[in-house]
Amino acid sequence: MQNQRAGTPASTGLSGPKNPNPNESTPFPDVRPKDANGPMHTLIVYSHLIAACIAVGVLLMQDLELSKLGGRRLNIGAVKDLKRAAQIIQCALGALWASGIILVAVGAWNDPNYLANQKLWAKIAVVVVLTANGALLHSYSFPRVVSATGVVGLPFLEKSAVVATGAVSTVSWLFACYLGVARPWNHTVQFDGVMYLYLSLLMPACVAGLVFIHGFARAKPASQRLPQSASGFTQLRAAVLRRIH
């Protein structure tokens, strides 16, 4: 008792643990789930991956079939295949948006720095572009692809717009899928850099598509010269035979 300073209460040993920093208030308890990779999260990621694989697979197969036709008029079977592929891709895109929103919400709930990932926002921007481009494909490009003239019979500007929307669709889907698996880019790349890379892929794809379709359109009249010449020769031969007889 002699060592105790005057005016200082003695410790009873019954008080709780002291706050190491009395200027800081006690934080609220962390109620966020500790396991961000639980079974439900894994199932959502799996469904997200499956939807992306289905959409890209159907898209590439349809692009291959259309490239074989070279922009010519589609038959009834090809038109049905195109409509079926468009419906599948549309459903897959809806599933991607739904599962993607859930994944972003869970990620932001578990990690306060999750939304600071610039690659995430670049991926969202690319998906927004492919969604808007998909609406343009359905409303503008598809009616012209299945028209009686085909793509090669369209005016120059309409033909170019149809090819450009197709190129944007293919590049956007492939690039969005790449961003989904590019884990080393998380929190290491900037939004501007990713979008510059995206544009650098879009431009050559559009140019290649335009060169292909316009080159095919120029070659088409040359291929029709032989049947026209043969028809004129047949008419001349018939006229000569009539004079002889």
* DSSP state letters, 36-62: TTSHHHHHHHHHHHHHHHHHHHHHHHH
Q: For residue 38, what pLDDT is reported? A: 78
Structure tokens at 42: 């894994």
Q: Which residues contact 81 (CB under 8 A, 6 or more apart)?
A: 62, 65
Task: Tell me the pTM.
Answer: 0.73
CA-nearest of 52, 172, 169 to 122 is 172
Tens digits of pLDDT across the chain (245 residues): 444 444 444 444 444 445 445 444 444 444 444 445 678 889 999 999 999 999 999 999 998 888 888 778 888 888 899 999 999 999 999 999 999 999 999 999 999 899 999 999 999 999 999 999 999 999 999 999 988 888 888 898 998 999 999 999 999 999 999 999 999 999 999 999 999 999 999 999 999 988 888 776 565 544 443 343 434 444 545 554 555 55
DSSP 112-179: TTGGG-HHHHHHHHHHHHHHHHHHHIIIIIHHHHTSSSTTTTS-HHHHHHHHHHHHHHHHHHHHHHHH
